[in-house]
Amino acid sequence: MLELKNISKTFNAGTVNQKVALNGLNLTMAEGEFVTVIGGNGAGKSTMLNAIAGVFPVDTGKITIDGVDVTNLAEYKRAKYIGRVFQDPMMGTAATMQIEENLALAARRGKPRTLRPGITKADREFYREQLKILDLGLEDRMTTKVGLLSGGQRQALTLLMATLQQPKLLLLDEHTAALDPKTAAKVLDATQRIVDRSHLTTMMITHNMRDAITYGNRLIMMYEGHVVVDVRGEEKKNLTVEQLLNLFSKASGSDEADDKLLLS
Amino acid sequence: MNFFLSLFNAMPGAVTQGMLWGIMAIGVYITYRILDVADLTVDGSLATGGAVCVMLMRAGWNPWISLLCAFLAGVLAGLCTGLLHTRCGIPAILAGILTQLALYSVNLRIMGGKANQPIGVDKYDLLVSQRYVRELTLNNPIPLVILVLAVLTGLLYWFFGTEYGSSLRATGANQNMARAQGINTKSGITFGLMLANGMVALAGGLLAQYQGAVDVNMGRGAIVIGLAAVIIGEVLLGKVFRNFALKLTAVVIGAVIYYMVIQLVLQLGLNTNDLKLLTALVVALFLAIPYWKTVVLPRKKEV
């Protein structure tokens, strides 16, 4: 479904702030896989997601989604294949627009935007049904401006928007990191339900190692811009946080590694 | 008594002028409020609209066709700013200033190298004219201006409710979100600038007819008047007018109030030369108030 071949990205090349964010990154994801991504600060997790989404062009390598080479495709064109939820709850929704208007925008992802009415009666019924899945009571507040919602509600809505038009690939960039633990659990729960419902191919960055083990069916760890640990299936299910830390130390060949991970 | 009488006499003119500038202010609303772009092109495109409309009418063209051409000229001006901004990476404000400056020369060319060109009401079939503004005849410009405003408001209300129109609103609200939802934000911003400047040029064409002449400097400070209209409308009616069509109406009302106030201070003896200073001060004040509120109010709560 997704293939990253030898991806490299250096920010601010040739300046004192030069930062190699991705360094010969290779990754292949099969359809229906739910990969959790962990790694310390600056390991390249978010850069990888943004590279896939097309926020910036990569320096080298090739990105293929479902057999389509998207390496040189603009961000808005790639959106056809990709659903995204950001770390910042403010980023995924239009605050000054209503809940149903936001959903209507998401429902047209990857389709031409015409001069037909933005929302029809039938659309509204569909959105109402979809909002019920979130179990947050938003189905009764469809004309509320999104700016009035809490961070958790906005993340849940963004999640729904990302999957309303079924994406080939769902990218979650620490989407619960800005939420309090209780709300984070609720949003993660909704994530699991939505991913299961349509067997979405999903990539989720998290800073919480327990979540990384609990969710998904494959786990990768990044270090210095490439994948250093890759476990799946039974092996992943039986992982413990301690084992994960050991794996990391071995892969990165450094003892201070666990500090870095824990602090991230 | 004399004072009030002359003020009363001046009101129909102030209202009409306000409504004509209201068309222009709706253009500013589209860029400033919907797209979240401060577009300074309008200072140039207003005169472009006036120049195109007047020169075509002087050449014997139908006034409505001339007005349509004025609109299209504004659309082109907006396209220039849009391309400079989205395809050349120039900040929106600077892109607008560049187009505006270039338009000064373009406008002079359109006007045959003269700084102003008259369009007399006796010689030409004007759609709106200052002369009849206090007459109760079919020549009175007020009904026509109201009709034009109603049609434009209706069209914009419909447009911004469509799939494409909604994507423009999303672009203004949150570009990250818009792109993530597959919206081409660059072409959206360009289109918005084209639409807005088309409106502004249309207003320019009507204003030139109303005044009976086009002047190359007629757009100087137009952006500030447009902003004044938008902000006055929001401050006075923002709490009541929630619907989009009503918000546009509030902008027009804002422009009318602006011209009524200007008329009042002129009657009170303000020098015409000081008008732009006053306008700038009023707009600066209204822009500052929301900021001051955020700075001062939280402190009050603590006490």
pLDDT tens digits, residue range B275-294? 889 888 888 888 888 788 88
Mean pLDDT is highest, among A27-41, A114-128, B96-110, for B96-110
* The pLDDT value given to residue A218: 94
Order the strands of the A19-29 sheet from edge to edge: A19-29, A2-11, A60-65, A68-69
Query: Rounded mean pLDDT of B46-55?
Result: 98
Rg (CA), chain A: 19
pTM of this structure: 0.91
Report the residue of chain A nearest B35, measured CA to CA: A96
For residue A248, name the pLDDT band (cuts at 50, 70, 90).
confident
* 8 A C-beta contact, residue A20 and residue A60: no
* The pLDDT value given to residue A40: 84
Query: Rounded mean pLDDT of A218-226?
Result: 91
For residue A254, name the pLDDT band (cuts at 50, 70, 90).
low
Domain count, chain B: 1
- Summarize pLDDT for A127-174 with one digit per residue, the tens: 999 999 888 889 999 999 999 999 999 999 999 999 999 999 999 999
Nearest Cα to Cα of residue A92 among A82, A78, A104, A102 = A102
Helix (H) or strand (E) holding A7: strand A2-11
> Does the CB of B86 have a partner CB in chain A at under 8 Å?
no
> Does the CB of B155 have a partner CB in chain A at under 8 Å?
no
* The pLDDT value given to residue A264: 44
Locate B199 and state its tokens. Answer: 């409106």
Residues of chain A with pLDDT > 70: what percent? Answer: 95
Cβ-proximal residues to B60 (8 Å cutoff; 6+ apart), any chain: none
* Residue of A50, A96, A111 to mutate for B, most B C-beta atoms under 10 A: A96
- At residue B180, what are phi and psi to the nearest 5 degrees? -65, -25
Query: Rounded mean pLDDT of B172-185?
Result: 95
What residues of chain A lie within 8 A of the CB of B162, using their CB?
A: 114-118
* The pLDDT value given to residue B28: 97
* 8 A C-beta contact, residue B209 and residue B129: yes
Distance CA A44, CA A38 (A): 10
Distance CA B96, CA B294 (A): 30
Question: Would you call B179 and A80 a contact, using CB atoms and an 8 Å cutoff?
Answer: no
Amino acid letter for position B202: L
Residues of chain A with pLDDT > 90: what percent? Answer: 72
Query: Rounded mean pLDDT of B51-73?
Result: 97
* 8 A C-beta contact, residue B77 and residue B41: yes
* 8 A C-beta contact, residue A63 and residue A232: no
What residues of chain A lie within 8 A of the CB of B176, using their CB?
A: 86, 91-92
CATH number at B15 reads 1.10.3470
Cβ-proximal residues to A231 (8 Å cutoff; 6+ apart), any chain: A218, A219, A239, A247
* The pLDDT value given to residue A78: 94
* The pLDDT value given to residue B303: 42
What range does the domain containing B23 cover? Answer: 2-302
The overall average pLDDT reported for chain A is 90
Residues belonging to chain A with any Cβ–Cβ distance to chain B shorter than 8 Å: 53, 74-77, 79-80, 82, 84, 86, 90-97, 101-102, 104-106, 108-111, 113-118, 161-162
pLDDT at position B178 over 70:
yes
With H, G, I as helix, E, B as strand and everything else as coil, classify residue B111.
coil
Question: Would you call A110 and B176 a contact, using CB atoms and an 8 Å cutoff?
Answer: no
With H, G, I as helix, E, B as strand and everything else as coil, classify residue A88.
coil
Query: Rounded mean pLDDT of B20-28?
Result: 97
Amino acid letter for position A72: N
CA distance B174 to chain A (A): 5
Question: Would you call B182 and A93 a contact, using CB atoms and an 8 Å cutoff?
Answer: no
Helix (DSSP H) and strand (DSSP E) numbers for chain B: 11, 2
Report the residue of chain B nearest A163, measured CA to CA: B181
pLDDT at position B302 over 50:
no
Q: Which residue has the higher pLDDT, B209 or A246?
A: B209
Q: Please state the ipTM of this predicted complex.
A: 0.89
Report the residue of chain A nearest B158, measured CA to CA: A117
Locate A143 and state its tokens. Answer: 């004309």
- Summarize pLDDT for A54-78 with one digit per residue, the tens: 999 999 999 999 999 999 999 999 9
Burial of residue A177, with CB atoms counted within 10 A of its CB: 0-12 exposed, 13-18 middle, 19 or more buried: middle
pLDDT at position A26 over 80:
yes
- Cα A12 to chain center, whole Å? 25
First-last CA distance in chain A: 29
With vertex at residue B171, the alpha carbon angle to CA B169 and CA B176, rounded to the nearest 5 degrees, is 140
Amino acid letter for position B221: G
Distance CA A7, CA A28 (A): 12
Distance CA A178, CA B116 (A): 60
* The pLDDT value given to residue A47: 94
Distance CA A141, CA A131 (A): 10
Max alpha carbon distance in chain B (Å)?
Answer: 70
* The pLDDT value given to residue A263: 45
Interface of B with A in 210-269 (CB under 8 A): none
Look up the CATH architecture of domain A2-93+149-263: 3-Layer(aba) Sandwich (3.40)
* The pLDDT value given to residue B300: 53
What residues of chain A lie within 8 A of the CB of B29, using their CB?
A: none
Closest CB to A94 among B164, B165, B174: B174
* The pLDDT value given to residue B183: 96
- DSSP calls for A148-165: GS-HHHHHHHHHHHHHHS
> Does the CB of B169 have a partner CB in chain A at under 8 Å?
yes
Closest CB to A105 among B166, B176, B184: B166
* 8 A C-beta contact, residue B62 and residue B78: no
Q: How many residues does chain A have?
A: 264
What is the crossing angle of helices B222-237 and B244-267, to 10°? 110
- Summarize pLDDT for B236-287 with one digit per residue, the tens: 898 889 899 999 999 999 999 999 999 999 888 888 899 889 888 888 888 8
